[in-house]
Structure 1
Amino acid sequence: MSERPARRDVPISLPSTGEAELEAVRGPIESGWLTQGPKVAEFEKRFAERHDVPHALAVTSCTTGLHLILAAMEIGPGDEVIVPAFTWVATANVVLYCGATPVLADVDRDTFNLDIDDVLRRVTSRTKAVIAVHLFGRCMDMDALSAALPSGIEIIEDAACAAGAAWQGRPAGSLGRAASFSFHPRKSVTTGEGGMVTTDDPALAERMNMMRNHGASISEEQRHHGPRPYLLPDFNLLGFNYRMTDLQGAVGLVQFGKLDRFIDERAAMAKRFTEAFADINWLRTPTEPQGGRHGWQAYVLYVDPDGAPMLRNDMMEALQEMGVSTRPGTHAVHMLGLYRDRYGLAPHDFPGARDCAEHSMAIPLHNRMTEEDFDHVVRAVRSLAHG
């Protein structure tokens, strides 16, 4: 058995924020304009330009962004939406929010993304859309998915982890009918909570713009700065309060200016992790998509149960004792109580998702990791190689 290193606490993730973000919120606070306003508008403009889309709309989270997309597409009762069985539960939940039926499809153990053959087995006459998740920042093969699907089925990107990522030279967020991104603190750039939806469809963008603000015909900023601020707007759509605050928009602008540097730093660390673990044959490391750019929201290993010296959960416990935080990649939706009981599902119904949930392991990867942190994580993982 390899000697285990002395404990050093290394968190799974830390947001990289500082004085610039603190200073950025001064403007909205001093102006008194705290809700959605000019900072959000500037953030949206820069995000759209970077992701090569004409429309970007800031929202309160990736979850509300996905819900907004489905609602604006008028997906509802009687409709089906295919989602991966290995994803954060929000991807499936948003379909239920609309009264539609989430139809789970299995995933590829190598990429953690949708298994296209299994997607096609789930398509019915009621299928309105597929939500393709770019899990952990690795884009789904959108060309293959688009070519395989029958015409008329929309592709929505769950790009929660994929700000700055790309597929075949095209940015995430420009690959489907619409997309939703996350700015949660575990993502590469953060606004605390927050998200962004993107689309190249002007009619859909206009509808989502109204629906994120209760269905109002004009925004609060337009009304207050217009000639008759005392008149309330008309409401012709059922909408929601999914507006991002200008405080978040100000922070987002600072963070977004660091996006490509953050991804480059993460990519360099990921490459070094992969090299450090190359001789451990029971540990599969994540790969860059050929012709694409990984967003590296997380570095997620796959522990081969046939060759590993111990179970994944035992590894996670041992690493925790050495101070190294880990997490399962995410969960298998069909094994969660809500979906298991509601649809009568069993673990073996989606074996790829089951295996990914039971054998994936995210290790620390973030922009505040020091050389000492990195070296400790490598030593800790390697110390498990002989049990």
Structure 2
Amino acid sequence: MTEDKRIVHIALPSTGEPEWEAVRDPIMSGWLTQGPKVAAFEKRFSEMHQVQNALATTSCTTALHLALAAYGIGPGDEVIVPAFTWVATANVVLYCGATPVFADVDPITFNIDVNDALSRVTDKTKAIIPVHLFGLCADIDALRAGLPTHVKIIEDAACAAGAQYKKQYAGGLGDAAAFSFHPRKSITTGEGGMLTSNDTTFSDIAEKLRNHGAEISEEQRHAGPRPYLLPDFNMLGFNYRMTDLQGAVGLVQLDKLHGFIEQRAEWAKWYRSELKDVSWLRCPEEPENGKHAWQAFVTYVDPDKAPFSRNEIMDKLQTKGIATRPGTHAVHMLDYYANKYNLSVNDFPGAKLCDENTMAIPLHNRMELEDFKYVVRAIHEIG
């Protein structure tokens, strides 16, 4: 008997009636841009992640850019970034006129190789952006132990809402952190991001930069005695404000975050159990010293054992309706960066291996048991 073909998406946002109802308040009140819902979202996010300050932004990319700008990083400065990450991690460095310096990654964890990163520190290094890739926190303590004290650690926590490292939440591990609420993340506001820090002086600067460089926010101006007067502008800023529509959705999603992560963790454990006999496929593990956020379940196809290449395996799964993706890309292998900095594909061997062999398989909170079983059967059938 032939099993009916299913469609299993790589990711789907888990949204519904509560999110739909949440946007009613800002729509009816008329306050659609950054306002009370965003403020409440920021407060709850900071409390949940045990950080003093949280600023909602239009994306994780703009949150990262805001962090670099608030630290005054610019031309002549260097920022170390992992070679295996989404391109935005490197792009934001160029937005500031600074130079991204790539470091290799560990092919087991997919996170930045600490020793390689530390070997690339120079007197021009002003910051490092370790990525908590796919929800697994980078080894921040090892980085901090080897870095000069003036070098800022800016966590790219795009995938890591709710993740923990040694019982401490992502977002407060370094000097600042940026999160994403893109629909492929565990919780979503459509687009959107969050910048966190325990440094109030830094956050005050970032808050002004987020709002065109205005000395006071729109909320402060409208609540003041003379709302008709425009604020002063003492710095060049950006428009990186989140809308209250997004903030309202974010509040609902944030209430579900821990439940989402626990559910994903259980399915990740199930995947590992059901796929342990597939000799050519390595599954990600739960860390011993923290909590994985499981934004994605990214496997590694062993090129020496697999019956087909990673891309051929992805093609076979696609024909069965199962969506897969490479984990992400090796930025040094992208044409723009390879040409701009005269980089070779072999300059970062760990990143190259990850670029060529990682494979994310479906994991999200709208999957059902039969979806997971279908994925596992299809992988077993490959050989």
TM-score by length of structure 2 reads: 0.99
**Does the residue aligned with 1:35 lie in a helix, a strand or coil?**
coil
**Does the residue aligned with 2:258 lie in a helix, a strand or coil?**
helix
Would the aligned equivalents of 2:299 and 2:359 in 1 still touch at CA under 8 Å? Answer: yes
Amino acid in the other structure paired with 2:192: G
Structure 1: state its 5+ residue gaps.
none
**Does the residue aligned with 1:305 lie in a helix, a strand or coil?**
coil
Say whether 1:194 aligns with 2:172. Answer: no
- Structure 2 distance, partners of 1:100, 1:141, is 25
Say whether 1:259 aligns with 2:257. Answer: yes
- The equivalent of 2:46 in structure 1 is 48
- Structure 2 distance, partners of 1:311, 1:291, is 33
Structure 2 residue corresponding to 1:86, chosen from 81, 84, 87: 84
Q: Deviations over 1:166-205 (max 9, x none)?
A: 0000000000000000000000000000000000001000
**Shift in Å at residue 224 of structure 1?**
1.2
**Shift in Å at residue 109 of structure 1?**
0.2
- The equivalent of 1:321 in structure 2 is 319
1:242-321 matches, within 5 Å, as 242-321=240-319
- The equivalent of 2:158 in structure 1 is 160
Would the aligned equivalents of 2:107 and 2:350 in 1 still touch at CA under 8 Å? Answer: yes
- The equivalent of 1:131 in structure 2 is 129
Identity of aligned residues (%): 66
Say whether 1:213 aligns with 2:201. Answer: no
User: Structure 1 residues 257 and 4 mapped into 2: Cα distance closer, same or farther (>3 Å)?
Assistant: same
Would the aligned equivalents of 2:156 and 2:177 in 1 still touch at CA under 8 Å? Answer: yes
- Structure 1 distance, partners of 2:89, 2:201, is 24
- Structure 2 distance, partners of 1:290, 1:10, is 30
**Shift in Å at residue 7 of structure 1?**
2.1
- Structure 2 distance, partners of 1:350, 1:202, is 37
- Structure 1 distance, partners of 2:76, 2:281, is 43
**Does the residue aligned with 2:18 lie in a helix, a strand or coil?**
helix
- Structure 2 distance, partners of 1:4, 1:33, is 54
- Structure 2 distance, partners of 1:180, 1:123, is 22
Amino acid in the other structure paired with 1:267: A
Would the aligned equivalents of 2:42 and 2:55 in 1 still touch at CA under 8 Å? Answer: yes
Would the aligned equivalents of 1:5 and 1:322 in 2 still touch at CA under 8 Å? Answer: no
**Does the residue aligned with 2:129 lie in a helix, a strand or coil?**
strand
Structure 2: state its 5+ residue gaps.
none
- The equivalent of 2:9 in structure 1 is 11
Q: CA RMSD in A?
A: 1.0
**Shift in Å at residue 338 of structure 1?**
0.6
Amino acid in the other structure paired with 2:320: M
User: Structure 1 residues 5 and 145 mapped into 2: Cα distance closer, same or farther (>3 Å)?
Assistant: farther
- The equivalent of 1:185 in structure 2 is 183
Structure 1 segments (4+ residues) deviating >3 Å: 3-6
- Structure 1 distance, partners of 2:106, 2:275, is 22
Structure 2 residue corresponding to 1:169, chosen from 151, 167, 170: 167
Would the aligned equivalents of 2:118 and 2:143 in 1 still touch at CA under 8 Å? Answer: no
TM-score by length of structure 1 reads: 0.98
**Shift in Å at residue 150 of structure 1?**
2.3
- The equivalent of 1:38 in structure 2 is 36
Count of aligned positions? 383
- Structure 1 distance, partners of 2:277, 2:241, is 48
- The equivalent of 2:353 in structure 1 is 355
**Does the residue aligned with 1:133 lie in a helix, a strand or coil?**
coil
**Shift in Å at residue 137 of structure 1?**
0.2
